[in-house]
Amino acid sequence: MEWWVSMPKVELHAHLNGSIRDSTLLELTKALGEKGVINFSQVEHIIMKYNRSVKEVFQLFDLIRILTTDHAILTRITREVIEDFASENVVYLELRTTPKRNDAIGMTKGSYFEAVLEGLRSVTSVDVNFIPHDKEDSRTLFSPNNGSSRKRIYVRLLLSIDRRETTEAAMETVKLALEMKQFGVVGIDLSGNPLVGDWNTYLPALKFARNQGLYVSLHCGEIPNPKEIHQMLDFKPERIGHAICFEKEHWEILKSSKIPVEICLTSNIRTLTVRSIQVHHFVGLYKTKHPVVLCTDDSGVFSTCLSKEYKIAADAFVFTGLGKRESFELSRNAVELIFAERQVKEDLTKYFDSVAKTMG
Ligand code: 5GP
């Protein structure tokens, strides 16, 4: 595993509350159990279960939602998630989260976001850059003269629209994202239970986001829904996540439009949406040089990390020539797919180049 951990990596599909540490999840669950808010013995099996259907995964997310409706907890989770990604040499993280309103505890979408921001600010163990680059400033995170021997990580944020939300609620999220561009918000994600909701509900907010200069990534094709997949591809998002239940015509549109795909191997296997790693669509996309990036999705919920995802891919698809060097190239190519500003891309490109030289 050591080699996969040491390789610099780019994470473009990670949900904040799905990336919560196991130990933190258990600790929070026990604490709420002791307060009588939840019955620990009734939820323990949901947390501990290994393979979960899509329906069960969303039951777990509903539980996590109960655990994380507190600003301080959100701040803590954000800090821990960034530390965890940085510790395995993720050098660029695009973290996505759904701003949530909870009147009972005085939480607005805005205060939710502030709590996440506080988490970013509170990381002290690694160097974090989340504020977009000042054009006047030529120093960058990976400049050789930066002088830091600590782990370094760029973090940018996507705000997620939950498929349960109304058009108004989706629009509120997009407006918040626009206000928070100065704090590193680069785009909008559409996620949440694929069994609910309708594309036309979110479309006005997604169009508005695009017109205002935000990037859009969509969870697409997690369940068979040919009409919606078509509509999503017609929208031409800057990236899509998953792309599992595609039919021939969808593959044709995807290939010709070259929309990059965020691939989440473990997540797809554990939610039983892909039968086995051997038949995963990653291999076809990789072989035809379609833009793809390996991602964790929910590293906490699926007990994975990005280094593991690269190793799993290399072990399963070695026959396609996906060895260590090719894995490094796959990771390096992901820099082209990030939503951050040009300076970040340039800095990361130079950094990957410098690492490539040491590989010989
Ligand atoms: P949060 O947005 O609360 O930080 O992260 C957890 C949320 O992300 C979940 O409640 C769900 O809405 C969304 N999410 C996480 N993983 C997946 C996934 O694999 N598919 C979809 N569609 N949504 C997901």
CATH number at residue 189: 3.20.20.140
Output the CA 350–ligand 1 centroid distance in Å.
33
How many whole angstroms from 191 Cα to the centroid of ligand 1?
6
**36, part of any domain:** no
Residue nearest to atom 10 of ligand 1 (CA): 61
Beta-carbon contacts of residue 64 (< 8 Å; ≥ 6 apart): 17, 18, 20, 25, 301
- Give nearest CA residue, ligand 1 atom 12: 192
- What is the per-residue pLDDT for 316? 95
Domain total of the chain: 1
What pLDDT score was predicted for residue 138?
A: 66
**Residues with catalytic function:** 222
For residues 91-113, give the mean pLDDT.
95
Instruction: Please check the confidence at residue 303 and state whether its pLDDT lies above 80.
Output: yes
Examine residue 339 and state whether it is found in any structural domain, yes or no. Answer: yes
Q: What is the mean pLDDT of the chain?
A: 93
* pLDDT for the residue 155: 98
**Helical ranges in the chain per DSSP H:** 2-6, 22-34, 40-48, 54-67, 71-87, 109-121, 167-179, 199-211, 226-235, 248-257, 265-270, 282-287, 306-316, 324-333, 342-359
User: Among the listed ranges 40-44, 121-125, 218-222, which one has the minimum average pLDDT value?
Assistant: 40-44
Arithmetic mean of pLDDT, 248-256: 98
Per-residue pLDDT tens for 74-100?
A: 999 999 999 999 999 999 999 999 999
What is the predicted pLDDT for the residue at 137?
A: 67
Q: Please, what is the Cα angle at 179 between 173 and 185, to 5 degrees?
A: 75
CA 55/CA 291 separation, integer angstroms: 29
Best of 59, 61, 69 for a ligand 1 pocket test (most atoms within 8 Å of beta carbon): 61
147 domain-assigned? yes
How much is the pLDDT for 135? 65
Residue 221 domain flag: yes
DSSP 100: -
281-303 mean pLDDT: 95
* pLDDT (average), residues 211-240: 98
pLDDT at 35: 86
Tell how far the Cα of 213 is from the centroid of ligand 1, in angstroms: 24
Residue whose CA lies nearest to ligand 1 atom number 24: 192
Which stretches of 88-198 are DSSP H helices? 109-121, 167-179
Q: Counting atoms of ligand 1 from 1, which one is nearest the CA of 15?
A: 5
Checking ipTM against 0.90, whether it exceeds it is yes
What is the reported pLDDT for 37?
A: 83
Q: Is the pLDDT of residue 348 over 70?
A: yes
Percent share of the chain, pLDDT over 90: 76
Query: What pLDDT sits at residue 116?
Result: 98
Which pLDDT band, with edges at 50, 70 and 90, does 33 fall under?
confident
323 inside domain:
yes
Burial of 37 (0-12, 13-18, 19+ CB in 10 A): exposed
Type of residue at 172: E
User: Considering the domain boundaries, does residue 99 fall inside one?
Assistant: yes
pLDDT of residue 76: 97
Considering the domain boundaries, does residue 98 fall inside one?
yes
Q: Residue 351: its pLDDT value, please?
A: 96
Q: Judge whether 345 and 336 are in contact, CB under 8 Å.
A: yes
> What are the tokens at 87?
């510790």
Residue 270 has pLDDT above 90, yes or no: no
Residue 324: CB atoms within 10 A of its CB come to 14
Q: Which residues line ligand 1 (CB under 6 A)?
A: 15-18, 61, 97-98, 160, 162, 191-192, 194, 219, 222, 267, 297-298
d(CA 87, CA 66): 28
Is 163 among the domain residues? yes
- Output the pLDDT for position 161: 98
**pLDDT at site 145:** 67
Higher pLDDT, 351 or 35: 351
Tell me the residue range of the domain where 326 lies: 2-21+52-359
